[in-house]
Structure 1
Amino acid sequence: MDLTHLRYFQLTATCQSMSAAARKLGISQPTLTVAIRQLEKHLGTTLFLRERKGVRLTSTGEVLLRHATQITSLVEHAEQDVRDLESDEVGSFVLGCHEALGAYFLPGFMPAFLRHAPRIELNLWNGTSPAVTEAILDRRVDFGLVVNTRPHPELIILPLFEDAVDFFVAAPQPGEPEVTEEEAHRRLRVGPLIFAAHMAQSQKLRDQLAAEKLLPGRMLPCGDLELVKSLTLGGLGVGMLPRRVAAYGQEGRLRRLHPSLPFFHDAISLVYRADGHRTLAAKRLKDALVRYGRGLGFSTSS
């Protein structure tokens, strides 16, 4: 069924006159008459009774008018929704990141963003950085906060801020001396060394410790950075943590074991597909993430 013909029919039924409907549509009356006849032929029915003063709907015409009103209303709503997505800050997006990264990034970002963009819906997707990258490529995630991402021809990568994976211990009590380099080496050798097993940075730092003959005999691999943080805060041993993860929510309670020890530099980027649909809302979200992320600057010294 031709949507244009349906609109012609609807206006003719409203005007109850072919000539009046033709004038409002800006077409000739013969053109309108041909369109109505084609619609009647398609449906196998007569839609109007022609009278001296105009036209009147038949019973089948009245049924079609009810449906035509619903159809044109749906089409108008669909057109408006599409226009809103293209020209207004309306949309729904999935933001992916590692839980530990999100724990210090999102509390500062989301309240202000959602307040200033109330018609943008933001959903969260958690996983490792490689998993987030894969989800972006699969179009399950729209934007990702990714650590140490690699270039990919289908991705846009915008550097945001820096961090570093380092060695941490519970902060000394008041009056206790600062940890010397010799004491730091001793603590490492004694262990346990607590780390998130899934992090590539952890393996690289353990390799460096081994090369410097500082690798402890006792290891405690964990599946989660928050558990590493909790155990380190409890004084169990030396924890390997990103500096920002160590700092958030526990200011001053964790300290770098010693600045002379090796650390692994991290670069956090905003990642999204190069062929993603660039609506006004998508641009607003991307710009807000970049602005907030770049405002974080370099990693904390802890």
Structure 2
Amino acid sequence: MTVKQLRAFLAVAQTLSFTQACEHLHLSQPALSLAIKGLEEALGGKLLIRSTRHVRLTPEGESLLPLAKHLLAQWENTEERLRERFTLQLGRLSVAAMPSFACSLLPEALASFRHLHPKINVTVHDVINEDVMEMVRARQVEIGIVFAPEGMGSLTFTPLFEDTFVAVLPPESPLNDVSLSWANLLAQDMITLQRPSRVRRLLEEGLAGQHLELTVAFESHQLSTVGSMVARGLGVSAVPSMCIPLMHALGARCVALDDTPIACRVGLLSHQELSVAAQALRTVLTDTVAPLFEARWQHRGAGFAGN
């Protein structure tokens, strides 16, 4: 039983005229008769009785009529909803992002996306980098914003921008007023994220490349806790510059380092196949995030520590 056959039956059943049904469906009489015959063969019996002057429904045809109306209404509703999804007039989308990205760069990108596609509902999961990766792998979200992963498997990573680490200091630290090197910073009590944090590994790898070793006094699972501990004078830290707004909100100060920078790439993690809505969001992110990051970094300049 096909949609075409049901539409043919419904047109004849409602008009009780093959001629009017042909006009309504823009079909020839042989094509309409073939569709009705195919439906009757599929169901196993007569649905219509046709004479030279009249068309009437059999009892089975009478019982099929309300069902055909319901089935076709459901089908047309499904068609319309899918059409709206493909044209971005309807849809839902879930993304996951590191808190430092979710609270700084993501809102402006989502504002651009909302302006272009106001009918798409977006759910944001702000979770640590490792959880973002797991949510993408498990298909709980379509897009994740993460630091460049070490192993991706079947996933795809699209770089957005390259970030660099900055020092995080207590408000009254004497290091605020000196030219700061990695050696100066590491001489203090260091507060970092716990392993297996990608930020922690990037920092350790970058320092090892400069023949320096990270000795940790305090460690935490959340960047917000690291920032709060620094703000209260328990030590110092180093985080990607993307985290500066979060550190400032917690009361810490961020200072540029004069040594060789430790860099980290930030980008989009996803499976290769994406919904139309996710493809649209990926385009907005790739078009807006890098210029936004560059503009903010240049605006901070050398004096971002006090902002």
Asked if TM exceeds 0.5, the reply is yes
Q: Distance in 2 between matches of 1:27 and 1:181?
A: 83
1:155-194 → structure 2 map (5 Å cutoff): 155-172=155-172, 178-180=176-178, 188-191=186-189, 193-194=190-191
Give the 3 Å change call, closer, same or farther, for CA 269–211 of structure 1 in structure 2.
Answer: closer
1:68-147 → structure 2 map (5 Å cutoff): 68-147=68-147
Q: Distance in 2 between matches of 1:7 and 1:68?
A: 8
Q: Secondary structure at the match of 1:259?
A: coil
Q: Secondary structure at the match of 1:202?
A: helix
Q: Select between 86-95 and 255-264 the one with higher mean Cα deviation.
A: 255-264
Q: Distance in 1 between matches of 2:160 and 2:209?
A: 32
Give the TM-score, by structure 1 length: 0.79
Q: Distance in 1 between matches of 2:180 and 2:272?
A: 50
Q: Distance in 1 between matches of 2:95 and 2:225?
A: 24
Structure 1 residues 5-48: Cα deviation after superposition (integer angstroms, max 9, x where no partner)? 22111111122112332354444445534543443344344423
Hey, what does 2:218 align to over in structure 1?
A: 220
Q: Secondary structure at the match of 1:221?
A: strand
Hey, what does 2:242 align to over in structure 1?
A: 244
Q: CA RMSD in A?
A: 3.6
Q: Which amino acid aligns with 2:118?
A: P
8 Å CA contact retained: 1:46, 1:61:
yes
Hey, what does 1:268 align to over in structure 2?
A: 266
Unmatched 5+ stretches in structure 1: none
Give the 3 Å change call, closer, same or farther, for CA 89–9 of structure 1 in structure 2.
Answer: closer
Q: Equivalent of 1:293, from 277, 289, 293?
A: 289
Give the TM-score, by structure 2 length: 0.78
8 Å CA contact retained: 1:189, 1:215:
no
Unmatched 5+ stretches in structure 2: none
Instruction: State percent identity of aligned pairs.
Output: 23
Q: Which amino acid aligns with 1:53?
A: R
Q: Select between 100-109 and 29-38 the one with higher mean Cα deviation.
A: 29-38
Hey, what does 2:193 align to over in structure 1?
A: 196
Number of equivalences? 296
Hey, what does 2:148 align to over in structure 1?
A: 148
Measure how far apart 1:263 and its partner are.
Answer: 4.9
Give the 3 Å change call, closer, same or farther, for CA 181–252 of structure 1 in structure 2.
Answer: farther
Q: Distance in 2 between matches of 1:184 and 1:41?
A: 82
Give the 3 Å change call, closer, same or farther, for CA 134–30 of structure 1 in structure 2.
Answer: same
8 Å CA contact retained: 2:170, 2:230:
yes
Q: Select between 253-262 and 105-114 the one with higher mean Cα deviation.
A: 253-262
Q: Which amino acid aligns with 1:228?
A: V
8 Å CA contact retained: 1:167, 1:263:
no
